[in-house]
Amino acid sequence: MNDEGDRVETTGAFTQARWASGQWQREHAQTLEEWRRSDASLTVPHITTLCRAVNNTARQLSSSPQALGAKLPPTRNCCDDLYFQDYDEAAAYMVQHLTDRYGRVTQVLERLFAAGHLPLRLRQMSVLEVGAGPAPSLYAARDFYADLAVWAKSSGHKVSFLPVTNMHALDRGEAWGRLLHSLSEHLIALRSELPSSSGVFPFRVEYSNLIGFSVIREHVKAIDFATEVISAEFDRAGDPIAHGTARRFAEEDGVGRPSAYDLVFASNLLTTDSSVNEFQTELLQLASGLTPGGLLVVIGAAAGNKYARIWSALRTLMRGTKLTEIKGFGEPIAANVNSEWAKVIRRQRQDILEELRGIDALPSEVAGLQETDGFPTFRALVWKNQQPAKKRPRRRASFTE
């Protein structure tokens, strides 16, 4: 898939053709759905290992079972008031929310494939998640694309596209960086024997502040920094070069922060009546930070008049952008409808609850939580950058944006 975001490259023994990606996705959506319910898919191994990694990470990072249990009530009911400065708070939030929200994002990705809108890429595949703490969208995107690649290969589709190559988290909480690192390490260990589970994992928080955030500005800052490093290296070698030459080298070598993302997720970011207005500038910047064919996916709660107002305000804001809203996401979505999937997630939560209950470390507010607790419905709105790619001069093959 190229950066224009609208074609899949297929190869045959003697020819090479380029087909429309959206058409290919729609034609094979039913086959993929059936395959993902089979034992050949990595769907169940992915969620099972994620659940184990979540609980292992919580046990490792929390200062004590009592401290972890004490943080459960506020991370259920008062999330807007939390800053996630300590690991007990972050671990408690992760235990309760990560796997459920991973499931929600996975459902959205499946719908996007069925509708023919999932970005597929040949050069790089970049994903950004904004304000979701334990990065459920990053892990879900990584796993969905890995499973998609296994299906395409095992089903004989001669289609070339990348797994996720860049995944970046934006979050203010100081505890999230170490938590993501630990969680990804546990996942790598647990998945070491899975076949073809390709794609990178998040190991840190790339950006720490949404206020004033701009994808292209961060890219330019990274280029500026790389330029200074290259200039200093040549100076130390006694062979100074012009600033413009150093900058050209930096651009050709590439930097870790792309100039645009293929998928941008804003998960559980907009939670108050004022949030759309508060982050108006930043939301518009996120909308402008997409590759051609790239998607902005906003996920949040479905119930209540407050959220109806939030979604309405967001739609009004997005009408002023060049993005196109994707149809088919207007109604609330039931989360984790796959019974086997839901059972694994509930078991993950219950394992921790039983451990804490067994040592009297569960506060009274959550002492009655059970494995059968349901999953709330959610909403997802999706906008696509359908503007054509800008023509640009050919660059060295090593260049990445």
- Show pLDDT as tens, one digit a residue, over the chain (401 residues): 334 444 455 444 323 334 588 999 999 999 999 999 999 999 999 999 999 999 999 999 999 999 999 999 988 877 777 889 999 999 999 999 999 999 999 999 999 999 999 999 999 999 999 988 899 999 999 999 999 999 999 999 988 899 999 999 999 999 999 999 999 999 999 998 887 667 899 999 999 999 999 999 999 999 999 999 999 999 999 999 999 999 999 999 888 899 999 999 999 899 999 999 999 999 999 999 999 999 999 999 998 899 999 999 999 999 999 999 999 998 999 999 988 999 999 999 999 999 999 999 998 877 776 655 678 899 999 999 998 877 654 443 332 33
Q: CA–CA separation, 168 vs 39, rounded Å?
A: 31
Predicted pLDDT of residue 397: 36
Instruction: Specify the pLDDT at position 108.
Output: 98
Looking at residue 396, what is its pLDDT?
A: 38
Q: Are 33 and 114 in contact (CB under 8 A)?
A: yes
pLDDT the model gives residue 347:
94
What is the reported pLDDT for 259? 95
Helix (H, G, I), strand (E, B) or coil at 368: coil
Pick from 93, 92, 85: which is nearest to 178 by CA?
Answer: 85
- The CA distance from 33 to 37, in Å, is 7
pTM > 0.85: yes
Q: What is the pLDDT of residue 14?
A: 26
> Taking phi first (over 0 means left), then psi (-120 to 50 degrees means alpha), and beta for anything else, what does residue 122 get?
alpha
pLDDT of residue 295: 98
Rounded CA-CA distance 221/224 in Å is: 5
First to last CA, the chain: 15
Q: Considering only CA atoms, which of 169, 194, 196, 172 is closest in space to residue 183?
A: 169
pLDDT recorded at residue 196: 65
| From the candidate CATH numbers 1.10.1060, 3.40.50, 3.30.70, 2.10.270, the one assigned to the domain spanning 7-206+257-384 | 3.40.50
